[in-house]
Structure 1
Amino acid sequence: MLRRVRRVVPLAVLALALAIPGPVSAQAAPAPAAALSPNVHLFYYPWYGSPAVSGGYRHWQQGGHTPPEGIGADLYPVLGAYDSGDVAGAVEQHLRWVVRSGAGVLVYSWWGQGSYEDGLAAGVLDAAARHGVEVAWHLEPYGGRTAASTVDDIRYIDARYGGHSAFYRSAEHDDKGAYYVFSSLTIPDEEWAALDAVTDESIVLAQTTDVSRIDHFSGLYTYDAIAGASAPGWESAGEYAEQHGLVWAPSVGPGYVDDRAVPGNTTPTLGRDGGATYDLEWNNALDPDTGGVPTWVSVTSFNEWHEGSVIEPAASSPPGGFGYQTFEGAYGTTGAAAETAYLDRTAYWSAEFEARRADSP
């Protein structure tokens, strides 16, 4: 059984981002919906662009494709080749869908100070506040990233965005913000001692199940949408985290396919199997004998379209001639109902996770 834990229940443009302005002011936030789980975190990608908003396509053309009909993904978004800076359109719709999923936290893919994604963060925070959703941070491996620069990044994010009403702070961990560090093992372990300067105020997670590599971190997560089907090392990682008062946030996903984004690659794929894959990974995460005892469950992903791990609605009638997959048949649904099947299943599992937490001693 899961342990009981205390539970308390304007478009920013790139030119402004490069100027690195001061702290982002908070918008008044409505009370979060009771159904939203602060313990289910969705990895969210704000790196897409379109000519109408950003002056050109970003990311959709990956793999040599020609948007808007041909994109670097094996599924096609209901919203088409959207722009992550379209706050009133795409981002608002994303937040409505996040609320439908029952997840209370987005984990924002962030690529360094002054990056394109940094410039769009304020718009996502504002939209999240309007919907009672909070935002944590996924620190990505931008060129030249070091342990010392990661510490600077955490301080920068906290100074610029930490006062925003949608900035996620864990009520169960002294209101600390949360930072997932992708590809953390590429930096030597001894260099991560630099994190000691910020972990009194911040939760910093390493991407690994190797507990010998997390001496200066606050916990660990996995990200890999394929590994969740077999949960390698999850039980021992979860047990270690619980014994040492650390955060364990195993990552679950509905499937993985990146054939159009990376033509000719040999990366394994993981079929969705009508939703059975997603259920298997959630079961693995919540079963103490398989996944340990999770503090949070992280979902890979809301909208990483290149890797086909999305729960964002995919078109049931995508452009023809490109070989796109669909969600047809997911959990017995068809057509338009299938488009939102993974949002609805996430809501089921979010509620199940919270129920198990509440029932545990």
Structure 2
Amino acid sequence: MASTLSIDIQRRLEPFTLRVQFTIGAEILVLFGPSGAGKTQTLQAIAGLMKPDAGRITLDETVFFQRYPGQPQINLPPQRRRIGYVFQQYALFPHMTALDNVALPIGRGREAQRRAYELLDQMKIAHLAQRMPHELSGGQQQRVAIARALAAQPSVLLFDESFSALDHAVRTQLHADLRTLQAERGLIVVYVTHNLDDAFAVGQRIAILQEGKIEQIGALAEVCRFPATLRVAQMLGLSNIIKGRVVAVELDRLWLEWEGYRIEAVCPSPPPAPGSWVTAFIRPEEIRLVYPDRPLTRFAGHNLLAARIIEQRPGRRLNHLWVAVGAMTVEIAHPYTAYIGMDLSSGQDVHIGFRPESVVIIPEHSPQSVPVYSQVSHHL
């Protein structure tokens, strides 16, 4: 049976109070947010390196931490929690070999050395067992740190910006190895990052953390597709955020007036009132250029707008194009092989189109939720 880690804590920090509540099973949950949002403090609370002011942390039936009025206080020390923690700077002992670093949590003797060697082998660096940390590359040191975190046979692994200093190729391989490791062992993994590329590379679910509060949590694809607030959309780096006035609502469709155009979109629930203003976004990869000499397709037959090309720039995976629609700049992303033969030079007049489903309405306010810590906050 898979384990479940539950966190429901608060802790006064400067300049905010950390208030987080989430549950995670055998999966990789990414804690994403800017520096100073409370991500590392959340990891430290789980590991027992920071004591919350109130709340509860449990792994199945084992209570790691509990502090509620009228209830016994519990705060298991880190060594009794059996949680693997991979730090940003690896924290390897410089005077010990890779093998001895990994064996340290296990104990002394031949059996500890054997198990440590097996872990290094699983991390594909058994041939470096007798190397000192300064003789290893950053990626190799990170593999030693992961092997050491696994030495105590934990159910929970915590990663604190652990791959941020590595180059892209090494980071990509470690992301793949982490996904494999999690799946094979059924581990609970909490992965802290402020890098969206890292989040997409490893995450199954994502929790958006800002100023000590989880703004939104859910499946990675769902959160990115349907951000709960404008702030979440901005933190995710979503482009083409527009503000339009509702001119009509019919069944599952609504029409917005934007930059002099009438835009068709899927109607959210509850529907906004005609005359109200809403915020929405359109993903760059869902906007199509329209060939002037070809029939309109189902992708470009809706929301047909005149535009003028401002700039184009190559990306790692897609080509990026910026066009002016009225007073607004709109980003378009497309495969390099698309639109061959079209003149995409700056100043060129074009038409663009996108489906109603591509216009995603962003809620004006955060979804209502049950306040956490209500039974303890007035005692703090």
Could you tell me the TM-score, scaled by structure 2's length? Answer: 0.28
Q: Max radius of gyration: which structure?
A: 2
Greater RCO structure (CA 8 Å; 6+ sep): 1
Could you tell me the TM-score, scaled by structure 1's length? Answer: 0.29
The structure in which a higher percent of residues are helix is 1
